[in-house]
Each structure stands twice: as structure tokens, then as C-alpha cells.
């Protein structure tokens, strides 16, 4: 019996929100690894806002996914066959394996996952989202004790780690998220000083209330109106970290921040970041964060949906904000 | 005979472009300086884009001008009476003297003007515009030899100095200005490598042509569509200096830069600046720039309009782009 590999390819470039017809679910025989290659059986696939950008045919930090090509995704799995001297059958590995059940790889860019935490955590707090939070906040935001840090998408995979690290650094932390449940989680379970429910509250007024001395570091995952509200409340010499803009990824015309001249008034800085620039420092960062997790100071939360075939609809949870924690597919 | 002081006060907050009725031209007897004060007879009054912002009732880096208050302006003049030990009759001084013929001051924030250049130059290349260019470009833009520097409002008081200093630092310099005359001036007389006439050319396409390796430093004086065009052409690790946004100052709703996510794609930074933060370094900067002027490497150009009574209409030249060089009123 031939074992089949089920996989999603990109069938069409989405206009606005991705539709089921923008993807094609197909199958092919599981490939044999050639010399120097290994075969990975995927266990968890990471669903990330960045995937939406990869589907557009525009210049970005990596090339777009071609029509007919495998849908790009970070995933984690076990080596089930290996003709590569560096990887043994049974090891857990993470890499850009795509939305499929089996991946063949030459091992480039593939990381071994140490057995110090459950696998899903390596796609969450100890994976790209956690690393994005770590380097974006610490290297670009440069929070100082006593400063006020505001993060949007605060209950998400990146935002929840940003807020927790900012608390570890002695900052006042205010999260912006959608819904009372998420806000309660941020304050009661993650120790945020305050949370603003953007679906129920005027964000501008709430930022005035919760940031009486202004915002020193604003970590933005969402763009749009919320970015503008934060810009209006910057403190002198504030640092704005541009990590993402999930509210804008499905728009044909991005809403630029009308309040950008607040950068001038406040001598503030807005800086973009891409986590892969920090690759040489990944291991050290993961070790530091794993230490925080072991000491109970950093929590990771995953929202795991079963079944690779649910990919097109599960992905949409990111844009509706339905996910609670890092969104993963269990294969 | 009582000598009268003619002066402009703010009569109403402008909506859009300032109108003549937004100002009141009045007169009052020239005041006598009290002990510790001096009386200055103004010779040149600086007209600056920043004045538009000062007329709005919004939080900024200095308080707004109150209704009925003297219209704020930087000016230069001669001391004609002094009861201040630090200033003697006959000395030339610069300060925030306002749009009037005579100013009484306690000397705070008043600078003596050394007799090394014509007076108008101290409101231009060796005044606030030159200092804004100097610190904005060198401290925030940090241009390196061989990099590409683009400046908007390039024929203006700030932009023309930015471009010339960037050339001195060994950069490729592209200016954006309105009209063939200004563009010819930038290339033929100031030594810019290229100039883009935004009134006659597609700026996006022209930037692609003239910045084949992307833009390393973008110094923005205008905002709006031109800022978006420049953002679309950033090089990796580009620095965007936000100095002003003259295209937006008369708009009720500022157009935010839709292409701000180029900061993310290119790991770039956008930073606002206000020249008064650099006061302790003004003298050293003026001396360095005076040296460049003496060596023929830096040129200052002023557009001088006679008659204080022309203030409301002369000010509008800034927004139509009619001025050619630093706009001044000769009193």
C-alpha cells in the first residue's frame, strides 16, 4: 500500500479574506528521502498572520508563494526516515515544512527541538511568536523599569509574550484585545496591569485612563485605528515597534496612521522588525525564555484545532480574532 | 511724537489655508524696556511652515498661539535700547520676536548674531532651517558615504541644506521639488545628483529610476503622497526622518502613510525630530556650517519679501510652494 501525503497548495491569490477556493487540497505518494535528505511526519502546523502576506504577489521579506505551490507554514514533527547524517529517526524537528502531512527536506533551516517542553510550545512561546516578542520588545522597544508598555493583539501568540516579558522587566503593561474573556485572561492570569477590550471600549479614552504618563513602548500587531489611538498617546522619546498589521492584511488599500506626526511632536521612533534577522541569537533567547517558563514567570497558551483538512477555515480564526492563544493545526 | 509698533495678532484659528481675516494688523506705542529688558527693532522676520501648526489648538511641542496674541515668529534685528547688562545698543540679535516691528524682551532665548554673514543667512542656512537640516540629517539620518539620500521640499530652506550636507558626506542625493526651475537649481547650482519635479513627474517611477539601490535616508518635509512614494522605495535598514508635513498642515484629517509597512519589510526606522532639542550644540553646528559656507561648499538662498503688512499673503507662498529659498519678510 502506498502511503499518501495530503497537502494544501495555493490555487489563487486571495482578494480580501482568503476563501476555501483559494486553496487546493490534494494528495500524492509520500516521497522517499534521497541521499542527504530526511522525511518528517508533521504533528503540528503553525497558522500565522504572516501567511496572508505570503499569498500576495508583492515584494516582501521573502518571495510570495507561487500559484500551485505548497502553502508555506512553519511546522513541527518527527523524523521517520533519514539519509542525512545530522538527523536520526525519532528526533523532533521544526522547520518551514508547509501545510501537509509529510515533508522531505535537506535539513537546511531545520531546528532540532529539545525535549524540555511539549511540542506545541515550540511553535508558540519558544518558537517564532515568542522570539518575535522577545527581540521586538527587548531590542527595538528597549523597555526600562517603570515605563509604560502597550501591546495590541495582546492575547495572541506574540502579544501575550510581549506583555509578560515587559512585566518581567518592571514595566506597567496595558494590553489591547477583543472581548471580555481575553481581557480577563490578560489581567487575571498573565498579570497585565490593565486590558482594553477594543470591541467594547473607546480605545483612545481607555489609553488616556490607563496610561496617565503616556506610552513609552507601543508594540503593534494590528495597525489601523488602534495604531492611530496609540500614536495619539505617545510619551516623549517613545518607541513604536511595527511587528504586524493584522487588521490591514486583507485590505487592498492599507490605512496609514493619520497620527504619525505624533512621532515628530514626541521625538519618537517607529521601527519595523522581522524575527529571522535575529537567527544567530535564537538559541540563547529560547534558553532564557525556557528558564522563565520553568520558574512560572512566562506562560504559553495554544489553541489547537484537529485535522489538516480544516486549514482554510481554521486560518480565518486569526482574522476574526476567534483564536485564544497561538493557533495550531494538529495533523 | 510717539513711535508706533505695527504687529499681527491671531484673530481666529484658521480652517484649512490661513485667510487674511485670521489675523489682525494693529498698532500700539513702542514699549519702553524695563530694567533687565532690551528693545529690538526687527529687520527680518522668518516665515516657516511650523507657524501653521502653532495656530491650531492642539497639543504639540510648544503651546498654541492664543487668540488675540502676537503671531509667533523667529526674527532678527538690532538692539535700539537696553537696560540689560548682557546686550548693548547696536548689537544684532535673533529670537522669537513675533510678527511686529519692535520687540521688548528679557533676553531669554535671545542669541547674538556674529558679524560673519549677512543677517538673512542667520534665519536660513545658519539659523533654525540650517540647524534642523544639520541635526535631522546627521543625528537621525546618519548618512554613510555611498548611500542614497532623498529629500522632499528640496528647494526649501531646510531641504536645500539637507541635500548639500549629504553631498558633503559623500552620498548620492536626490531632491524632490515642485517646478522645473527649482529642479534645475538643485542639480546645476547645489550639485544634487538628480531632482524630481513632483508637479510634472510620477514620483514613484522617478524614485525607481534615480535610486536603483533604494533609499537609505529619506528626509521628509512634506508628508502625503510623496512620503508614501519614498516609503515604497526604502532600502534595507533605511532611516526616515520626519521633519515636517507641509502638504498636510492645512488638512483637517492628515493622510497617514499607507506604505508604512515598508518599515517592517525593510527593518527601517521612522523618527521625528524637533530642532530645539539640540540647543546645546547650536553654536558648534553654526561654526561648522559657516566654515562650509566660507569654503564655498554650502549655499544659502533667501526669498525676501518687503513690508510687514504683506504677512498674511506672503505666508501662503510656503503652502503653494511659490517661494524659492528661505522665505523672509523684510520689515
Domains B4-124+301-330 and B128-276 share a fold: no
Task: Express as a percent the part of chain B with pLDDT over 70.
Answer: 100
A72 touches A46 (CB < 8 A):
no
A223 inside 8 A of chain B by CB: yes
φ/ψ region of A191 (left if φ > 0, alpha if ψ in -120 to 50, else beta) reads left
Grid cell digits, residue A314: 481554521
The distance of B237 to chain A (nearest Cα, Å) reads: 9
Question: What does the alpha-carbon distance between residue A181 and residue B68 come to, in Å, rounded to a whole number?
Answer: 52
3-state secondary structure of B140: helix
For the entire predicted model, the pTM comes to 0.91
End-to-end CA distance of chain A: 21
- Determine the CATH number of domain B4-124+301-330: 3.90.180.10
Nearest to B150 by CA among B170, B175, B168: B175
Q: What local confidence, expressed as pLDDT, does residue B294 receive?
A: 92
Segment B178-206 shows an average pLDDT of 97
Give the nearest chain B residue to A276 (CA atoms): B267
pLDDT at B114 over 90: no
Domain positions in chain A: 4-124+301-330, 128-276
B211 touches B218 (CB < 8 A):
no
- Closest CB to B272 among A228, A267, A274: A267
> Which of A221, A240, A242 has the highest number of chain B CBs within 10 A, making it the mutation to test binding with B?
A242
- Closest CB to A260 among B60, B256, B265: B256
Task: Determine the distance from the C-alpha atom of residue A69 to the mean position of all C-alpha atoms in its chain, rounded to a whole number.
Answer: 22
Question: What does the alpha-carbon distance between residue A5 and residue A49 come to, in Å, rounded to a whole number?
Answer: 25
pLDDT at B61 over 90: no
pLDDT at A252 over 90: no
Instruction: At A89, give phi and psi (nearest 5°).
Output: -55, 135
Structure confidence by residue, pLDDT tens digits, A270-315: 999 999 999 999 989 999 999 999 999 999 999 999 999 999 999 9
Q: Please list the alpha-helical segments (H only) found in A75-192.
A: 128-135, 157-168, 180-184
CB pairs under 8 A between A and B: 105
Q: At what angle do helices B128-135 and B282-294 cross, to 10 degrees?
A: 100
A274 inside 8 A of chain B by CB: yes
Whether A272 sits inside 8 A of B264 (CB atoms) is yes
Whether A264 sits inside 8 A of B257 (CB atoms) is no
Whether B260 sits inside 8 A of A270 (CB atoms) is yes
pLDDT at B253 over 90: no
Which positions 277-296 of B are in contact with A (Cβ < 8 Å)? 277
B102 touches B5 (CB < 8 A):
yes
Structure confidence by residue, pLDDT tens digits, A159-217: 999 999 999 999 999 999 999 999 999 999 999 999 999 999 999 999 999 999 999 99
| B167: confidence class by pLDDT, cuts 50, 70, 90 | very high
Question: What does the alpha-carbon distance between residue B40 and residue B81 come to, in Å, rounded to a whole number?
Answer: 7
- Closest CB to A256 among B60, B245, B257: B257
Structure confidence by residue, pLDDT tens digits, A55-85: 999 877 789 999 999 999 999 999 999 999 9
Instruction: At A268, give phi and psi (nearest 5°).
Output: -105, 170
Architecture label for domain A128-276 = 3-Layer(aba) Sandwich (3.40)
Whether B256 sits inside 8 A of A253 (CB atoms) is no
Task: Express as a percent the part of chain B with pLDDT over 90.
Answer: 89
Amino acid at each position: 500500500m502506498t502511503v499518501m501525503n495530503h497537502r494544501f497548495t495555493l490555487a489563487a491569490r486571495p482578494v480580501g479574506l482568503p476563501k476555501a477556493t483559494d486553496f487546493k487540497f490534494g494528495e500524492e505518494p509520500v516521497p522517499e528521502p534521497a541521499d542527504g535528505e530526511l522525511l518528517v511526519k508533521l504533528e503540528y502546523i503553525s497558522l500565522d498572520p504572516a501567511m496572508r502576506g505570503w499569498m500576495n504577489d508583492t515584494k516582501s521579506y521573502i518571495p510570495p508563494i507561487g500559484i500551485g505551490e505548497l502553502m508555506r507554514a512553519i511546522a513541527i514533527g518527527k523524523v521517520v526516515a533519514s539519509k542525512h547524517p545530522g538527523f536520526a529517526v525519532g528526533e523532533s524537528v521544526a522547520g518551514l515544512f508547509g501545510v501537509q502531512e509529510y515533508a522531505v527536506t535537506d535539513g537546511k533551516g531545520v531546528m532540532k527541538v529539545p525535549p524540555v517542553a511539549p511540542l506545541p510550545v515550540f511553535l508558540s512561546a519558544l518558537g517564532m511568536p515568542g522570539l518575535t516578542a522577545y527581540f521586538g520588545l527587548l531590542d527595538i522597544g528597549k523597555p526600562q523599569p517603570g515605563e509604560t508598555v502597550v501591546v495590541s493583539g495582546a492575547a495572541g501568540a506574540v502579544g501575550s509574550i510581549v506583555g509578560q516579558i515587559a512585566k518581567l522587566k518592571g514595566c506597567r503593561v496595558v494590553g489591547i484585545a477583543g472581548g471580555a474573556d481575553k481581557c480577563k485572561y490578560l489581567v487575571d492570569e498573565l498579570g497585565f496591569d490593565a486590558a482594553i477590550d477594543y470591541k467594547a471600549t473607546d480605545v483612545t479614552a481607555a489609553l488616556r485612563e490607563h496610561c496617565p504618563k503616556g506610552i513609552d513602548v507601543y508594540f503593534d500587531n494590528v495597525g489601523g485605528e488602534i495604531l492611530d489611538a496609540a500614536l495619539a498617546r505617545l510619551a516623549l522619546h517613545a518607541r513604536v515597534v511595527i511587528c504586524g498589521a493584522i487588521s490591514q492584511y486583507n485590505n487592498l488599500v492599507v490605512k496609514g496612521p493619520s497620527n504619525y506626526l505624533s512621532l515628530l511632536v514626541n521625538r519618537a521612533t517607529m521601527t519595523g522588525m522581522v524575527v529571522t534577522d535575529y537567527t544567530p541569537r535564537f538559541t540563547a533567547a529560547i534558553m532564557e525564555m525556557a528558564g522563565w517558563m520553568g520558574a512560572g514567570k512566562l506562560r504559553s497558551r495554544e489553541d489547537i484545532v484537529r485535522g489538516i483538512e480544516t486549514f482554510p477555515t481554521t486560518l480565518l480564526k486569526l482574522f476574526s480574532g476567534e483564536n485564544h492563544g497561538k493557533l495550531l493545526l494538529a495533523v
